[in-house]
Amino acid sequence: MMEMSGFTEEQLSVRDAVQKICAQFPNEYWQQHDQSETDPKELHAALAADGWLGIALPEQFGGAGLGISEATMMLQTISQSGAGMAGAQSIHANVYATQPLARFGNKDQLESTIPNIINGKWRVCFGVTEPNTGLDTLRLKTTATRQGDKYIISGQKIWITCAQVASKMILLARTTPLEEVKKPSEGLSMFCIDIDRSNPALELKKIKKMGGRAVDANEVFFDHYEVPANTLIGEEGQGFKIILHGMNAERCLLAGEALGLGYAAVEKASRYARERVVFGRPIGKNQAIAHPLADAYMNLEAAKLATYHAARLYDQSKTDKSITPHAVGVACNSAKYMAAEAAFKACERAVMTHGGMGYAMEYDVERYLRECLVPRIAPVSREMILNFVSEKVLELPRSY
């Protein structure tokens, strides 16, 4: 259904190959895993077996060395296959949270971690959000205190996806107290730590959630959890700058995931509208059914252009210094916003097109609607993107 003109050879071959893998996991697989809240480890294993988890990681460590443009296509294809956000989220952090690690990690860190992430031995989660600071990331309260050759971590994280199955967490914690730094963006550090679920200093509590139930989301409690000092990535105190690198990549991937869900929803709704006959005619003959679907489709197409434009800028900015971090940030945030809104519209229309059957698990669109709220909330909410564009592009006064 998506118009495929204009994509590169690499993007098209990623799409073909990933579609073939996802075809082994039909909608029934995702319905069952959503209902039973069972991790889709078979999808993770199948993608790892064919090397897809290293799509955007360096070739010298076993990655494919492709960019976020191709990784976004991969995540969109997974989501669009019917796997939705759950399927995408089962591998999502492996792809984007590893970007800052690949860029700022030292040789030892890269050699010891990246190959095991690519071959599927270790899964990864991303630990940023905290219950008491939310979107005010710079004021996060989890501390990592240096003691000899260790850091001692204390604090709490929330909503950490895949923490029940991950071996590694990319963690953002404060290493210098807020009162002692000039700007709140200083004094934060990034770590790649082991998740030792047998250690009593670490506790995980699974959160019951609305959608994407096949993947776990967790409260994480650190109570003097010790990690070796060599888990620090890059320089101490530079964590926020380092993590920003992964955040723009994540916005592109999330935009791709939202698009996948939106196109899957419109496709299902259009099929149903062609087949379902009421009052002696297909319901799609009614413009009240057809026009909102056409509108949803065009919104997805526009968001698609914004998404792959942002991913291209992100990739090209590595070598083309005329592409500023500001331009990349605006493009990635705008793409995530537009794709999330387009997906929401598409999924809502898909449920309404199905009438009562839109509410039945069997038709999948209720699952898509539950899941499509995630890209509107995470990793940054729609309101915060509107704040960002108001302030940084329109030069309006900061509102908070």
Q: Where do contacts with ligand FAD occur on this chain (CB under 6 A)? A: 125-129, 134-135, 159-161, 212, 217, 374, 377-381, 383-384, 387, 400
To which residue do tokens 């990655």 refer?
A: 63
Give dist(CA 266, CA 304) in Å, integer: 14
CB of 341 to ligand FAD, least distance (A): 14
The helix/strand count (H/E) of the chain reads as 13, 10
Give dist(CA 132, CA 139) in Å, integer: 9
CB of 232 to ligand FAD, least distance (A): 19
Answer whether 309's CB lies under 8 Å from 228's CB.
no
Closest to ligand FAD by CB, 134 vs 282, is 134
Closest to ligand FAD by CB, 356 vs 397, is 397
CB of 249 to ligand FAD, least distance (A): 14
Closest to ligand FAD by CB, 279 vs 400, is 400
CB of 161 to ligand FAD, least distance (A): 4
Give dist(CA 141, CA 296) in Å, integer: 41
Cα→Cα distances 260→225, 264, 265, 272, Å: 39, 6, 9, 18
Q: Which residues contact 8 (CB under 8 A, 6 or more apart)?
A: 69
**Across-strand partners of 191?**
171, 232
∠ CA 354-254-372, nearest 5°, is: 25
CB of 173 to ligand FAD, least distance (A): 12
CB of 331 to ligand FAD, least distance (A): 20
- Which residue minimizes CB distance to ligand FAD? 134
**Across-strand partners of 188?**
174, 238
Answer whether 260's CB lies under 8 Å from 76's CB.
yes
Closest to ligand FAD by CB, 260 vs 379, is 379
Give dist(CA 144, CA 283) in Å, integer: 59
Closest to ligand FAD by CB, 21 vs 158, is 158
Closest to ligand FAD by CB, 85 vs 269, is 85
Give dist(CA 383, CA 376) in Å, integer: 9
CB of 380 to ligand FAD, least distance (A): 6
Closest to ligand FAD by CB, 346 vs 380, is 380
